[in-house]
Amino acid sequence: MAGFKDIANVWNNIKEIDLRPLRLDAQQGVRIALAGKAGSGRHTLADQMRRDPARLNVVAMTPVLLVDLDDPEAAIHKTANADLIILLINASQTNTAAERHIARRWVEENKNLLVVINEQPSSAIVDPGEQSLILEPWGTWGKHHVLTGDITDTNFISEQFSRRVIESLPSQWLSLGRYFPLFRIPIAKQLINDTCLSNAAYAVSTGIAEVVPVLDIPLNVADMFVLTKAQAFLVYKLGLVLGYSFEWQDYVKEFSGVLGGGFLWRQVARQLIGLVPAWGIVPKAAVSYSGTYVVGHVVLQWYLTGRHISRKQMQELYIQAFARGKNLAENLIKRLPKPKNKPKKQATKALPAPRKITKCPHCGKRPAKGAQFCHHCGQALFPTLPSQSDQEIIDPVE
């Protein structure tokens, strides 16, 4: 059974690949501006972003830029360096001309903008017909996201709002989750899914080559390193997103009891079995997917509860994930480009049948076989030298 030393050896190999870019991405932070008029819900939304719905006792003190719209030019200046501007509009407003004006300015300057129309229960009651007229202009913005919902509703905030913000900052997930706890679990789940998909796709791509027995052994070793590296990177990125240490050594100590306690190495052994050509590409990809899925959720569960899941729970997770991985692998294989049909060979045109010359056109005597000149009179048997297609074979009459 593998122990602390074995898991440390894996991380020693991983640290040879520079982890500094990941650490820097998580450290740089993300600048979010909440813009809106008084009563739009800016302070409420800022407080929501600093809390984790799964752990209400976790509160971050991350600064958020609150921008008033009374002075549009000042608002434009304040948000110049913002990574994301969230424009809040109270759904009870009867006039949103000022918001539309400044939103157009931000769009013209290619700012990352998300419009949130806040439908809090405390909002004044507005006639439905009048409200539809208020909201209608925002429905034609196309690629610029417009979201409508109650910012005090936990489901709306943790699902719809979180998803839109994460989509708006695709290259800043590590810092977004680290400094704003609201986004930690959605980002963690997305990182797990992306790594599972990547490992399964890798297994499918290399599995096509590995069905050749001669190539199987060296590619097994390479696959074991690539897949295990991706899982270790996932552990490190999840730790950064969930607010833990920047030092990779701390993850070795924390997770050696689970990842080094046998599961990771049994899963690697299953990967090696999956590389046997007779077993097929689909099970191999399913093993890669399911092993990565379990590793990711062990980390996530520890974050949520402070406890590691049991062996039985890991086995149940593995079985469920294996079925998902199998379906994914089958779909990936279906989407692989089909080999093109070999072009049909063009039939070669038959050469014209050669003409036979029985006598010299000059002296009338029989020429020698295959001669170009008559050996009797010395004249050319053909007016000009023939081309290959017109060449005549001289066949003297017996």
Cα–Cα distances (Å) from 296 to 148, 164, 191, 299, in that order, read 32, 23, 9, 5
pLDDT at 137: 54
Compare 47 and 232 and report the one with higher pLDDT: 47
| Average pLDDT score over the chain | 75
pLDDT tens per residue across span 164-190: 999 999 999 999 999 999 999 999 999
pLDDT at 261 over 50: no
Residue 256 confidence class, pLDDT cut points 50, 70, 90: low
Q: What is the pTM of this model?
A: 0.72
With a CB cutoff of 8 Å and minimum separation 6, the contacts of 1 are 261, 262, 265
- CB burial class (10 A; 0-12, 13-18, 19+) of residue 234? buried
pLDDT at 388 over 50: no
Going along the chain from its start, the domains and CATH numbers come out as 31-168 (3.40.50.300), 183-334 (no CATH)
How would you list the strands of the sheet with 32-35, edge to edge?
65-67, 32-35, 84-90, 113-118, 145-149
pLDDT at 314: 79
pLDDT at 316: 83
CB 334 within 8 A of CB 326: no
